[in-house]
Amino acid sequence: MNQEGIPVKEADVILASAAVRNLDWVRQQYLPFRQDLEERGWDLDSGIFVRTIAAIGHGRARLIELPKDFWDHCNLKVHWQHTTETVADVVKRLAEFGVTSAGLLPSTNSLIPLFALHYQTLPVWGQN
């Protein structure tokens, strides 16, 4: 619980930890991307992004299974690039089929495996 008595989610703690390790990442990259999606009808909570980054970067969406250095700067830079490109492409393709907002989905959590699966079908972007 935070000071206001609101339960804190695991993804929010991890996002805060990633922000500490990656100065300005949240303000300069994460929040603008999330806001752009929200303006287009895709209001997704931080858990969707954190678990998608994990699924794309490590092949697992369970946060407990991530290595300790997963959120370090070099790793996050690559994982975030792949995540943003994948999410943008999926949202674009869903719109082609009339799915123009998260409100049309039974659960936004269903996007996590969709993003991860879509990432696996795309060309690899500069991975070693």
> Residue 122: what pLDDT?
77
pLDDT under 70: residue ranges of the chain: 124-128
Number of domains in the chain: 1
- Residue 118 pLDDT: 95
- Residue 125's pLDDT is 53
Residue 84: the pLDDT is: 97
| 1: in domain | no
**pTM of the entire predicted model:** 0.87
Q: How far is CA 21 from the centre of its chain?
A: 17
Kindly state whether residue 37 falls inside one of the protein's structural domains.
yes
Would 5 be classed as within a structural domain?
Answer: no
pLDDT score of 30 = 95
* Integer Cα distance of 42 and 114 in angstroms: 15
Query: Is residue 67 packed enough to be buried (19+ CB in 10 Å), middle (13-18) or exposed (0-12)?
Result: exposed
Is residue 110 included in any domain, yes or no?
Answer: yes
Q: Look at residue 3 in the predicted model and tell me its pLDDT.
A: 81
Using one digit for the tens of pLDDT, what is the confidence trace for 44-71? 999 999 999 999 999 999 998 999 889 8
2 falls within a domain: no
- How far, in Å, are 4, 52, 111 from residue 108 at the CA level? 26, 12, 6
Does 84 map to a domain? yes
Report yes or no on 128 lying in a domain: no
pLDDT of residue 126: 43
HSE toward the beta carbon, residue 68, CA cutoff 13 A: 0
Q: Are the beta carbons of 54 and 60 closer than 8 angstroms? A: yes
Asked whether residue 38 is assigned to any structural domain, the reply reads yes
Residue 64 is part of which domain span? 10-121
